Structure 1
Amino acid sequence: MEHVWYVAYGSNLALERFNCYLYGGRPTGGARTYPGCRDHTAPARIEGVEIAGGLLFAGASKVWGGGSAFFDPTAPRRVAGRADLLTPDQLGDVAAQEMWREPGGAFSQDLSALLPDVAELHTMGPGRYETVVRLGEYDGLPMFTVTHGDAAELIPVAPTASYLQWIATGLAEAHGWDAPQIAHYLMGAAGVSEGWTEETLLMLRPGMSAGTEHQGG
């Protein structure tokens, strides 16, 4: 595999925010500065995609506060994502940073090496994003994402405004959705209704740059 699709469904839907994983930096509203991938090459392609499954928010994010986004492959719904065409090593480095590990470390290398053998999903550990899910193919290349191994069993928790702002921005970028479409979609995700209504979600102003500070690029 020279290239694979990494499918983002949370804040990484927004290109500026995802760039922190590629180049290093701290996204506005976040509490962490990312080291970035070893390979700073931009995605060869970026596509808006929809995949079978469900979006939910749970746990306690160290970066944003509130619930983190997770993908539930067992849910009978559809998830709006953004597919970035990366190298397997880049995907390994992105997943490592999701788990607060160093790019190029053992976790990153193990994940990139196992991608050809993942038929449906493979759980590397009990962490929040230590399960790799294969989502089929797009233009003849495999699509992968990362999530929690027991996402369907997580207790829903409302996400914060800064986190949802990035997601709303990404949905506008990847799918061209307007504010009402985004609000309706997010209200269908478990956890959102714990702290939001469609009316308050309309205040997220999708498409507006949330801003970020880069270390390199």
Structure 2
Amino acid sequence: MTGSVWYAAYGSNLDRDRFLTYVRGGRPPGASRTYVGARDTREPREDRPFTMPGQVFFGWESPTWGGGIAFYDVDSGGTALARAYLLTTQQFADVAAQEMHREPGVDLDLAHVLEHARHDTGPGRYESLHLVGELDGDPVLTFTTPDPTALQRNPPVAAYVVTVACGLREAHGLDDGALTAYLMGCPGVADGWTERALRDVIAATH
């Protein structure tokens, strides 16, 4: 499979070093899972801040992190902050496979999502592909749960908050107040975090 695609990361993969474990392999700090990496281990050719219509929420109970993790609800109002990585279509397929707890190595047929803006490839938590924009003539894709209403909201643990906050700061240049306000506005976070506690954790990442 040839060609390029932007992958829009909106959760822990906002952090570039954490995302690169999906490409090069390895275990990110705070996680209990080691990733095998992509067939093509070259770093993304570029990455940029990106915004998507919709909303990020935190839910489920992650065996990798503990606590809730980020999902994307395209049908909610608002704006979701993301980081777009320019990958080969093969690399995107391998990243998606690892997010779906599958072995990488099988290319994705992207024709359906590019034509219809959505393609549910299975029932798993990250098996709904979405076309969310275009950059420099290449499509911007992301993935999330097929049914956001089916996942119980659940606050993230501190290690996950730190990873997401670091990525948001890197990509969008947000200060602590803006980071806190954005994350507190994501459903699930306020179920376990006060604004002060969240800001204290974010401030400690400097």
TM-score (norm 1): 0.90
Stretches of structure 1 that go unaligned for 5 or more consecutive residues are 210-217
> How far 1:44 moved relative to its partner?
1.0
1:94, 1:103 within 8 Å by CA — same for their partners in 2? yes
The DSSP-based 3-state class of the residue aligned with 1:100 is: coil
1:57, 1:159 within 8 Å by CA — same for their partners in 2? yes
> How far 1:154 moved relative to its partner?
2.3
Opposite residue 38 of structure 1, the aligned amino acid is: R
Q: For 1:165, which of 139, 150, 162 is the aligned residue?
A: 162
> How far 1:207 moved relative to its partner?
9.0
Identity %: 45
1:207–1:90 CA distance, 2 compared to 1 (3 A): farther
Q: Give the corresponding residue for 2:133.
A: 136
Q: Give the corresponding residue for 1:13.
A: 14
2:161, 2:202 within 8 Å by CA — same for their partners in 1? no
Q: For 1:51-130, list aligned pairs within 5 A.
A: 51-104=52-105, 108-109=106-107, 112-113=108-109, 115-118=110-113, 119-130=116-127
Opposite residue 87 of structure 2, the aligned amino acid is: L
Separation in structure 2 between the aligned mates of residue 73 and residue 38 of structure 1, nearest angstrom: 30
1:173, 1:207 within 8 Å by CA — same for their partners in 2? no
> How far 1:116 moved relative to its partner?
2.9
1:20, 1:36 within 8 Å by CA — same for their partners in 2? yes
The farther-off stretch of 27-36 and 146-155 is: 146-155
Separation in structure 1 between the aligned mates of residue 204 and residue 148 of structure 2, nearest angstrom: 28
Stretches of structure 2 that go unaligned for 5 or more consecutive residues are none
Q: Give the corresponding residue for 2:171.
A: 174
Opposite residue 200 of structure 1, the aligned amino acid is: A
1:25–1:206 CA distance, 2 compared to 1 (3 A): farther
The farther-off stretch of 167-176 and 129-138 is: 129-138
The DSSP-based 3-state class of the residue aligned with 1:50 is: strand
Separation in structure 2 between the aligned mates of residue 90 and residue 26 of structure 1, nearest angstrom: 18
Q: Give the corresponding residue for 2:148.
A: 151
> How far 1:83 moved relative to its partner?
0.1
Opposite residue 103 of structure 2, the aligned amino acid is: E
1:168, 1:204 within 8 Å by CA — same for their partners in 2? no
> How far 1:169 moved relative to its partner?
0.2
The DSSP-based 3-state class of the residue aligned with 1:201 is: helix
The DSSP-based 3-state class of the residue aligned with 1:74 is: coil
Count matched residues. 203
String of CA shifts for 1:119-177, please: whole Å, max 9, x gaps. Answer: 21110111000110010212211000010000134221111110110000000000000
TM-align CA RMSD: 1.4
1:68–1:205 CA distance, 2 compared to 1 (3 A): closer
Q: For 1:2-41, list aligned pairs within 5 A.
A: 2-41=3-42
* 1:185 maps onto 2:182 in alignment: yes
> How far 1:41 moved relative to its partner?
1.1
Separation in structure 1 between the aligned mates of residue 192 and residue 24 of structure 2, nearest angstrom: 33
> How far 1:206 moved relative to its partner?
6.0
Structure with higher RCO (Cα < 8 A, 6+ apart): 1
